[in-house]
Chain A
Amino acid sequence: MRAMVYRGPYKIRVEEKDIPPIEHPNDAIVRVTTAAICGSDLHLFHGMMPDTRVGMTFGHEFVGVVEQVGSSVQNLKPGDRVMVPFNVYCGTCYFCARGLYSNCHNVNANATAVGGIYGYSHTCGGYDGGQAEYVRVPFADIGPSIIPEWMDEEDAVLLTDALATGYFGAQLGDIVEGDTVVVFGAGPVGLFAAKSAWLMGAGRVIVIDHLEYRLEKARTFAHAETYNFAEYDDIVVEMKKATDYLGADVVIDAVGAEADGNFLQHVTTAKLKLQGGSPIALNWAIDAVRKGGTVSVVGAYGPMFSAVKFGDALNKGLTLRMNQAPVKRQWPRLFEHIRNGYLKPSDIVTHRIPLEHIAEGYHIFSAKLDNCIKPLIIPGAN
């Protein structure tokens, strides 16, 4: 089969690999029909995530058709069209039994501090991902769902991570009617978090980024007020002014490990790998939220330490909430919202790239060329 393969920092290519075999009785092999590149894939691409090995196939956002199932699989059969959450999870460990699918204890031998994620380094379990023609899906009876007939394939692929994560991020904010919600980051997760904040009754939604074309999308897609932090000397002060010096009730960090806005922080993290993540957006979130407010973190950070302004969080009495999204828990409600026309996830897709050209797709997304917001990967396309 053809598969994207990591070759070292900033380098990937497409190679022939063996079609993955069934390794466990509850495995399925899925033929991928659409995948996506996630902003967090760029942390792998840039060599930031420890134990990212040459030869691994990335990709934790994908949908496809079941090709083969293991002997114990009962809920799927070959030919089923499925969407697969980015979480690999068993369904029965201490954490899964409590709905914390992203924190499963039975699928990641390499680390206890993070669950299993497709194509996301050995730190997240060492599973090959879906930027390929075929992918192994463990616990096929637990994670995947059959894509409803009425659902568009591109909407389905965005439900496997970006939309579910953005929606989850808004929930972590404990938004109540009339709240002012600030979202750092106008990438896919930030756009979906902003959109979701309205569903939860926000009174104002403000999105902050430095890419004007993404802020434009935040205004049109997510009905948000926007600020380009590169135009201001101090975005925290601007947020205080914008809220009559109270601060936002809720701030969502949808940026994560490669945040821009401070040269030293960015370089020590993204270039020199001396921190687990650039804490610029997180520190701005801590400073921009009001005392007693809530900071929700769904931007991805690595396992190493980061220079977070924890003292401000303490002294302001903040609630800090965060996790990788337990994706499937969000699906029933998100299906309703899509059917009701409240959400149209595929509106943020800007690029559809054949698998054979995936290296260019990563560069376009990484360097923010061509007004790229969300690139999809199409195996088998020319």
Chain B
Amino acid sequence: MPYTANKPSRARSSDELRAAIPGWGADLDPKDRPSVPKEQFDPGLNGARWDFPERQPEKWPRERSIEHKFLTPVFGTSAPPRGVSGVIRKYSYKKYSEGRAAHWLLLLAADRVDAWEQHLASFGSLSPDNPITETGVLSEFSRHGITSRFGKKRADLNHQWIDPILVGGPWLIAGGLGFAAVRRLARLHRT
């Protein structure tokens, strides 16, 4: 009990644990572990042959955090900013530091705009988005969707019902609006 000086312990002895568990105590010495101490200064640690890396060519104006003094010498080139979402992203990077909630909230908003921009663009392409195949939801039938969930005391069942609404809801609304627009146009055409 913590109300007196000695530590309560229900642990087995070290000898018992060593006998029962493969490798028990192999890293027993706290000072002899790979990440101890946390910082181990050694500029030659990694075998690099540069003080500062050669710069990767910047093929388009690369957005960067204003907490950086300059563009990092190496950077990712996946999915350059584009469309309205790209404008939002560039504004967020240019205006706000990482310390500002506005920075992250704008980037999250841009993510949602990006998704809808790309969904709409896909309908004009040979590979339109398909929320059935892209969500992988068909695995519910092949991978025991029901028996994996029920009778298992899973804590996540109280919110999993929200996912189909979050994912499918906007598609149903967009489909409904599209249908209404087409019907209205058809009526106008008839009159």
Which A residues have a C-beta under 8 Å from some C-beta of B?
7-13, 15, 23-26, 47, 50-57, 72, 74-75, 88, 90-92, 96-100, 105-113, 116, 122-123, 125-128, 138-139, 141-142, 168, 171-172, 174-178, 180, 196, 198-201, 203-204, 210-212, 223, 228-231, 242-247, 260-261, 263, 266-267, 270-271, 273, 276, 290, 302-305, 326, 329-330, 332-333, 337, 340-343, 358-364, 367-371
Contact = CB atoms under 8 A, between A and B. Distances in A.
Given A122-B79, A343-B23, 18 more contacts: A8-B116, A53-B85, A54-B117, A54-B118, A92-B48, A98-B39, A98-B40, A177-B14, A199-B27, A201-B28, A223-B20, A244-B10, A263-B158, A267-B159, A333-B33, A359-B135, A360-B142, A368-B156
Given A13-B134, A99-B40, A266 B145 contact: no
A374 B27 CA distance: 26
A54 B144 CA distance: 30
B111 A230 contact: no
B78 A55 contact: yes
B46 A228 contact: no
Nearest to B25: A201
A90 to B, nearest CB: 5
Nearest to B119: A8
A108 B75 contact: yes
Contact of B46 (A91, A106, A360, A371): A91
Interface of B: 1-2, 7-12, 14, 17, 20-28, 30, 33-36, 38-43, 45-54, 56-57, 62-65, 67-68, 71-79, 81, 85, 89, 93, 98, 101, 104-105, 107-108, 110-112, 114-119, 122, 127, 129-131, 133-140, 142-145, 148-149, 152-156, 158-160, 162-163, 166-167
A329 B57 CA distance: 30
B107 A50 contact: yes
A10 B163 contact: yes
Contacts of B89: 51, 122
B24 A304 contact: no
Interface of B is mostly: loop
A56 B17 CA distance: 47
B133 A126 contact: no
7 contacts: A9-B166, A55-B78, A100-B39, A116-B76, A180-B9, A245-B1, A273-B108
A126 B78 contact: yes
Nearest to A105: B72
Contacts of A212: 152-153
A371 B152 CA distance: 11
Nearest to B137: A363
B102 to A, nearest CB: 11
Nearest to B81: A53
B78 A367 contact: no
B144 to A, nearest CB: 5
Nearest to B73: A106
Contacts of B122: 7
A183 to B, nearest CB: 15
